[in-house]
């Protein structure tokens, strides 16, 4: 089994009267166990040149939710250096928030069917604020991946 | 302006053939600018315990209506449990983000898009007598004078658990503290839950106006958590916001 850790540090000397110095580290385990996660999509870096909403993990769950409610972790980082540029991150059709230049997120992912029965299957999507080119990095570390089956449609 | 940084480190020697050693540091700034965020909820810690499984409910950690929408807010949540099987389900609005098992933490942006707060107007009308009263949201106001405007001011001066008020002459405007649907408005001139105690001469009324136009809508992005067990699970959370 693999040992993968995620650590965060939040620091500020002047956000509050008292210094902020928060640290947390966790080892990534399979759901409800102490067995380490052993699969990942790998770190992707993409350059998006349209403001279209895109599904960043289409290979994981389309039409199948075999790994619903399992342990999956998502990292997304907006690599833009222009402070006005952001990506809007959504799960299903629910906006989570905006990642401005340099911002990142780290969150669990249930891969659950949308609560609104809109066939989104828990998709995580991003939409750049500009079409002039924005780079983002993302990865998913998880328990397993169910790939789409071969497309046998004739052309 | 404050300088606040968030650093994430992802590391593993054996997840892949190549070492995973990612470190990213972000300075938390206001939306679209270089000015550092200046507000925070402070790190809070709370244990959720219920008498039975049936009583376990989603607990709102951060309500969108309390913050400016569409800003560069950041949320930190940690499950401090040490029992591997225990988890919190995190939801944004109606959608489930994922589960935080023992020791897990999450850090993500939050747009804080709120819904619509319900609102209506109640107006002291007719002739009010000393001792007549109006009750709403568990709060009863008893008239101490025969002046309608004075009674309206007394109604407005009360502290209601779920509503805020303003008064203008004899009219009191109620606004829900939180956005929600299925509220108290039942029509253009009626709400549920208000009780008028009148002396019997029929001269004093508290008619409702504003009606269905003031109906509310559920918040789109309150952040809530649901513990997996009732026996006491502790979370920590902090909101850094504009």
pLDDT at A30 over 90: yes
User: What mean pLDDT comes out for the span A87-110?
Assistant: 94
Residue A6 placed within a domain: no
pLDDT band (50, 70, 90) for residue A154: low
* Residue pLDDT, tens place only, B134-153: 999 999 999 999 999 999 99
Share of chain B above pLDDT 90, in %: 76
* pTM for this model (two decimals): 0.84
* Residue pLDDT, tens place only, A99-108: 999 999 999 9
What is the token pair recorded at A122? 């828990």
Could you give the CA distance from residue A61 to residue B218 in angstroms, rounded to a whole number? Answer: 29
* Residue pLDDT, tens place only, A54-63: 999 887 655 5
Strands B185-187, B190-191: pairing kind? antiparallel
CATH number of the domain that A70 lies in?
2.60.120.10
* Residue pLDDT, tens place only, A121-141: 788 999 999 999 999 999 999
What residues of chain A, 89 to 108, have a C-beta less than 8 Å from chain B?
Answer: 89, 91-92, 94-100, 102-108
ipTM attached to this prediction:
0.93
Q: Which of A5, A71, A105 to mutate to test the interface with B (most CBs of B within 10 A)?
A: A105
User: What mean pLDDT comes out for the span B205-226?
Assistant: 85
- Judging contacts by C-beta atoms under 8 Å, the chain A residues touching residue B103 are 26-27
Residue A135 placed within a domain: yes
Partner B contacted by A118 (CB < 8 A): no
Which residue, chain included where needed, has tokens 């540090």? A9
Partner B contacted by A83 (CB < 8 A): yes
Which of A10, A27, A108 has the CB atom closest to B97's CB atom?
A108
Residues spanned by the domain of A95: 37-142
Which of A37, A95, A122 has the CB atom closest to B221's CB atom?
A95
Q: Which of A110, A92, A1 is nearest to A53 (CA)?
A: A92
Could you write out the three-class secondary structure of chain A? CCCEEEEEEEEECCCCCCCEEEEEEEECECCCCCCECCEECCCEEEEECCCCCEECCHHHHCCCCCCCCCCEEEEEEECCCCCCCEEEEEECCEEEEEEECCCEEEEECCCCCCCCCCCCCCCEEEEECCCCCEEEEEEEEECCCCCCCCCCCCC
pLDDT at B242 over 70: yes
Q: How far is A62 from chain B, CA to nearest CA, in Å?
A: 17
Cβ proximity of B220 and B67 under 8 Å? no
Pick the more confident residue, B179 or B204.
Answer: B204
pLDDT band (50, 70, 90) for residue A119: low
* Residue pLDDT, tens place only, B24-54: 999 999 999 999 999 999 899 999 999 999 9
Q: Which of B29, B44, B108 to mutate to test the interface with A (most CBs of A within 10 A)?
A: B108
Q: How far is B95 from chain A, CA to nearest CA, in Å?
A: 6
Partner B contacted by A154 (CB < 8 A): no
Q: Which of B97, B226, B233, B235 to mutate to test the interface with A (most CBs of A within 10 A)?
A: B97
pLDDT at B176 over 70: yes
CB contact under 8 Å between B15 and A8, yes or no, is no
pLDDT at B116: 86
CB contact under 8 Å between A26 and B104, yes or no, is yes
pLDDT at B178: 84
CB contact under 8 Å between A71 and B101, yes or no, is yes
pLDDT at A122: 80
Partner B contacted by A49 (CB < 8 A): no
Question: Please, what is the average pLDDT of chain A?
Answer: 89
CB contact under 8 Å between A34 and B238, yes or no, is no
CB pairs under 8 A between A and B: 198
- Judging contacts by C-beta atoms under 8 Å, the chain B residues touching residue A117 are none
Q: How many domains, in total, are found in chain A?
A: 1
pLDDT at A148 over 90: no
Fold of B38-114+220-241: Jelly Rolls (2.60.120)
pLDDT at B183: 84
Residue A155 placed within a domain: no
- Judging contacts by C-beta atoms under 8 Å, the chain B residues touching residue A102 are 26-27
Could you give the CA distance from residue A28 to residue B171 in angstroms, rounded to a whole number? Answer: 58
Q: Is the Cα dihedral A76, A37, A94, A117 positive or negative?
A: positive
Residue A73 placed within a domain: yes
Pick the more confident residue, B180 or B16.
Answer: B16
Domain ranges (residues) in chain B? 38-114+220-241, 119-214
Could you give the CA distance from residue B91 to residue B137 in angstroms, rounded to a whole number? Answer: 28
Q: How far is B162 from chain A, CA to nearest CA, in Å?
A: 26
pLDDT band (50, 70, 90) for residue B202: confident
User: What mean pLDDT comes out for the span A35-59?
Assistant: 92
pLDDT at B182: 77
pLDDT band (50, 70, 90) for residue A155: low
Strand partners, B25: B7
* Residue pLDDT, tens place only, B56-83: 988 999 999 889 889 999 999 999 999 9
pLDDT at A44 over 90: yes
pLDDT at B88: 97
């Amino acid at each position: 089994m693999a040992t993968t850790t995620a650590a965060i540090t939040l620091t500020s000397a002047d956000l509050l009267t008292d210094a902020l110095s928060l640290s947390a580290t966790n080892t990534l385990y399979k759901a409800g166990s102490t067995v380490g996660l052993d699969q990942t999509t790998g770190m992707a870096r993409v350059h998006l040149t349209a403001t279209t909403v895109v599904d960043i993990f289409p290979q994981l769950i389309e039409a199948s939710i075999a790994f619903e409610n399992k342990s999956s972790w998502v990292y997304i980082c907006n690599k833009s250096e222009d402070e006005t540029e952001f990506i809007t991150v959504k799960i299903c059709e629910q906006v989570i928030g905006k990642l401005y230049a340099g911002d990142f997120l780290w969150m669990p992912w249930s891969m659950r069917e949308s609560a609104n029965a809109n066939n989104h299957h828990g998709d995580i999507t991003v939409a750049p604020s500009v079409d002039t080119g924005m780079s983002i990095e993302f990865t998913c570390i998880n328990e397993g991946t169910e790939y789409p089956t071969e497309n046998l449609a004739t052309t | 302006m404050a300088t606040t940084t968030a650093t994430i480190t992802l590391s593993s020697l054996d997840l892949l053939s190549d070492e995973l050693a990612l470190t990213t540091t972000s300075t938390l700034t206001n939306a679209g600018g270089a000015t550092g965020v200046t507000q925070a909820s402070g790190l809070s810690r709370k244990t959720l315990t219920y008498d039975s499984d049936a009583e376990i409910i989603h607990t709102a950690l951060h309500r969108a209506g309390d913050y400016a929408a569409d800003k560069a807010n950041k949320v930190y949540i940690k499950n401090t449990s040490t029992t591997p099987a225990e988890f919190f389900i995190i939801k944004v609005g109606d959608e489930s983000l994922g589960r935080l098992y023992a020791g897990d933490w999450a850090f993500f942006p939050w747009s804080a898009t709120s819904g619509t707060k319900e609102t209506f107007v109640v107006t002291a009308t007719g002739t009010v007598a000393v001792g007549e009263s109006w009750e709403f949201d568990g709060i009863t106001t008893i008239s101490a004078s025969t002046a309608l405007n004075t009674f309206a001011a007394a109604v407005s001066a009360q502290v209601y658990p779920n509503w805020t008020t303003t008064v203008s002459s004899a009219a009191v405007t109620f606004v829900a503290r939180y956005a929600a649907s299925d509220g108290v408005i039942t029509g253009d001139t009626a709400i549920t839950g208000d009780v008028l105690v009148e002396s019997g001469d029929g001269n004093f009324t508290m008619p409702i106006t504003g009606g269905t136009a003031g109906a509310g809508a559920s918040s789109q992005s309150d952040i809530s958590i649901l513990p997996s067990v009732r026996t006491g699970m502790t979370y920590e959370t902090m909101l850094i916001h504009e």
